[in-house]
Structure 1
Amino acid sequence: MTTDLVIVGCGGHGREVLGIVRAVNGDAPRWRPAGFVDDRPAEENLKRVQRLDVPYLGGLDRLRDLPPDTHVVIGIGDPRVRRAVGARLDGYGLPVATLVHPAATVGPDVAYGEGFVAFAGARVTTNVTIGRHVHLNQNVTVGHDSTLADYVSVNPLAAVSGDCRLGEAVLVGTTAAILQGLTVGAAATIGAGACVVRDVPAGVVVKGVPAR
């Protein structure tokens, strides 16, 4: 039996989430991609969605009209935008899907909230706590005893070392590294390629090696 699943966001990130759905389905389909919703889709993205043979359903308010057992997942890379969309989704009352690519690894004693998405090659080791709507992109690592709050995004090839604390809506840029035992405050941004060697306050942007 398959369950209808709607992806919020038909940009590149959302279409990559569709790839995860299809990989999860494999030979025993669990999800039926019922369509994308997006309030302001670019014309080029609508054409790309059409080539993937999944319909564009309309704006987010279209979710009000769907059967109550339809699941949703957010396919938006920006954690702050994803947080705003998540607040809207709560109002629609639809169940939220969690997606772990079969080529991702989630170790023992890892807890994660609804809407968690792990892309191919993501590695989560052990005793890790992950919040709602957290996205771990391709080939990222999250070390032991770390905590990632709601809406965190870890971009491709980034590394979060053991015993780290990432606040809500933190963005970790591509190939960035956060050294062991550090805390990154809510809504902070770690620039691509940065190496974080000390705690990062909430709401700031750091970049470089070492990150400043």
Structure 2
Amino acid sequence: MTGAAGDGGAAGLELVIVGCAGHGRELLDIVHAINEAAAGTAWRVRGFVDDTPTEVNLKRLQRLDVPYLGSLVTLGDLPTGTHVAVGIGDPRSRRRVARRVASHRLPAATLVHPDATLGTDAEHGEGLVLFAGARVTTNVTFGHHVQLNQNVTIGHDCVVRDHVSVNPLAAVSGDCHLDEGVLVGAGAVVLQGLRIGAEATVGAGACVVRDVPAGTVVKGVPAR
């Protein structure tokens, strides 16, 4: 397995979070939890970058006592080795930003909340984010920049490709395949052995009982 959570050592690694909105600030909470569990500083947060921060979210950053560093152009000025966490929930937007991060040759942080579990024989690319309560069982393979929100479950032998987002309380059964850029909505269920095609969206609360073609939106029970 690559990129263990909070793999910052005693001194801690420098981290910048992209996205000042709620999703990005939730990543800051994960970092705080990792540092607390490590009884030290696994990550040192330099601040946030965002191309279009709202005044409301900038004020929220001030309350958190974390600086706003500027637009994504600022990434080019960061010291070599500074890690970046992409705090964007939408898969397509996250993919665009992840490419910009990669163009600056900056490593993507893997963040696993201490209250999440990553089972045996699991593999992942850089940028994996597991929120509190996420449960991943055995022999699961993740691509790059996958994000599992609060209380998500991923069953055995699943393959989850790059930039997939699984929203809170969703359940993906065993032997499923989520292609690149899939979004699984809050509270949705994907039944055993199914494939969700690239860029498809599963609506909140849906129950998927058959394969979902690429680029489609399905919703309802059963999902159509």
Scaled to the shorter chain, the TM-score interval is over 0.9
1:62 CA drift (Å) = 0.2
Secondary structure of the equivalent of 1:32? strand
Question: Mapping of 1:16-31 within 5 angstroms?
Answer: 16-26=26-36, 27-31=39-43
Q: Residues of 2 paired with 1:174 and 1:36: CA distance? A: 26
Structure 2 residue 48 is matched with structure 1 residue 11: no
Partner of 2:137: 125
**Mapping of residues 90-105 of structure 1, within 5 Å:** 90-105=102-117
SS of 1:86's equivalent?
A: helix
CA distance in 2, matches of 1:12, 1:200: 29
Moved over 4 A (4+): none
Q: CA deviation at 1:4?
A: 1.1
TM-score by length of 1: 0.99
| Counterpart mapping for 1:54-203 below 5 A | 54-203=66-215
For 1:89-125, what per-residue CA distance to the aligned partner results, in whole angstroms no more than 9, with x for missing partners? 1101111110000000001000011000000000000
RMSD over aligned CA atoms reads 0.5
Gaps of 5+ in 1: none
Identity over the aligned pairs, expressed in percent? 68
> d(CA) in 1 for partners of 2:143 and 2:65?
32
In structure 2, stretches of 5+ residues that fail to align are 1-10
Matched residues, number: 212
SS in 2 for 1:198: coil
The code of the aligned residue for 2:103 comes to G
In structure 2, distance between residues paired with 1:173 and 1:95? 28
Q: Which residue of 1 aligns with 2:217?
A: 205
Deviation at 1:21, TM superposition (A): 0.5
In the aligned structure 2, how far is the partner of 1:118 from the partner of 1:82? 15
1:124-143 deviation digits (Å, cap 9, x = unpaired)? 00000011000000000000
> Residue type of the partner of 1:160?
V
CA offset at residue 19 of structure 1?
0.3
Task: Report the residue type matching 1:60 in the other structure.
Answer: L
